[in-house]
Structure 1
Amino acid sequence: MLLGSADEAIVFQQIHYWLKRTNNVQEDGHNWVYNSMTDWLKQFPWIKTRARLTRYFDDLEKRGLIITGNFNKAKFDKTKWYRIDYDALQKFEQRLYQNDTTSASKQDNGVSQNDATSASKQSNPMSQNGATYTNRLPETTTRDYQENTAESTSEDATDGQQVEDPFELARQCRINVNDGEHKHLFLNAINALGKPLVCWAIRETFDGPRCSWNYLAAILNRLQKDGIKSVEEAEHSKQQHSSGYSKRPGKTHYEEAMPSWTKMTEEERTRPASPERAAEVRAMLANRNRTS
């Protein structure tokens, strides 16, 4: 809940897993693990891009939850080493439980306060824990999230399946869709494209070179301009845009003719030249020496 991403929490848990099994103890007395980002990516096959995984590691480091170092023997080796700051983790977890100081105590009727709090959420959907979690990002307040959820209640689902909420996904990806005119434009995009396609655009933004509102807005504008209405059409268009330059309109693809000797067989290439051909080559070389 505090990290706002299940994937990032799993990455953090994996670091903890290896720290408990490593024998790499450095002079500071702490256990450390090391891996290149390419090797880390192999441990999370559902995370499709290195950029996304790098973003998770960077976020954990910025929060102070993991500490990086370089204990490689070769100076040119830039492979990062990682350890968890468990003191910082403990303080970080306290944010989740700061409003539940009596969660372990039981009420006289045998119902725990946690259960009572859970029951009260029916009348107050945003509990204190929920408010703390939502307010972690300055651009998304509890009130904004409630309004956004209410304004995007149109169902795009079929067969009773729940459609992913674009506002929640944007919040998890830390894209500010509530600031100023952003919210109005974002809602218009949802109405025009539908929730699934907007969520696709958010993921493309998260995996792109700039995870920002401007980058997301550019993708949404392109989808509407191209008349794309489904995720399948968006993927097809993406593949066309990423194809080679020679296939783009206005570009001519030229192929250089291969030399004739490339078409010869091994026997033809190694066959001795005839006396006549040998004389021609000697004459050609002699003429080249004279002119040079």
Structure 2
Amino acid sequence: MDLLINEPPLLVLPTLAKLIGLNESIVFQQVHYWLRKTSHEYDGAKWFYKTYEEWHEEFPFWSVATVRRTITSLEKQGLLISTTKYNKLGIDKTKWYTINYGNYKKLMSSRVAQNEQSSCSNCADGALKMSNPYDQVDHTNNQRILTENTTDINNLVVDKEAPPEKSEKANAQTAFEFYEQNGFGTLSPYVAEKIGTWIEELSEELVLEAMKIATENNARNWKYVESILKNWANKNFKSLADVEADRKRFEIQKQQRNRGKGMLEEKIPEWFYKRQSTDQEQPKSKNIDFEAERQKILEKLKS
């Protein structure tokens, strides 16, 4: 059972969309299409590279943030593999992509098994109705309840665009949303690419924190945010706890400096300077002729 097609148009099969999500199935199909076109082969697999800006050009009906979330979803499902290790320059963060066809085949096999199990279950239900006609009404009601519950569960899993259950994490703003909603300006593809790179380099919570600091300092521009992120990267920060610890260290050092400036220096009394001045005014002592002085004293005594 193969749900992939080998044609250029943006097509998607409903069964694949139901399994992995509508947006995911569109991107997944395009990745398969580009892998058939590419000539790059590394580590026994075909790869192609594409920036998020280029993905956005290919899917202009989505925002860069939507493209990024969709690709991340495919990576988490184990269907899409991405890396930057094939770039010639270390600073180049362009992603290379390939499909984990092994996981894809397992997904298809699981789907076939579920269909067969569902078919056998329907056969068993029919046999139950035939052998026990008096229980047909109760069984029908139970089956209806089970089907409704199952449908609700399937809708919850399949509808990737439906909002998740209310939770603090689910309601938190993404870095892309914060940028657009807090006066930084329109999110261009270039800045979106930069934000995504820093999210991968550090974390989304640190990128958000840098934006909040920029907002508090009334410096709503990406260059200021990136300077903060570079500083944290140089310090090897990995979480908000690292930022908070560094902030506390800075406050302690600041308090110590302020206390040092506030301490009064020991004041030298004025008499010291007067004594020093007096000593300087006194003439330097000369060599005294003690014998001549003794003779003068003796003559005065005789007289």
TM-score by length of 1: 0.40
Higher-Rg structure is 2
More helix by share: 2
TM-score by length of 2: 0.39
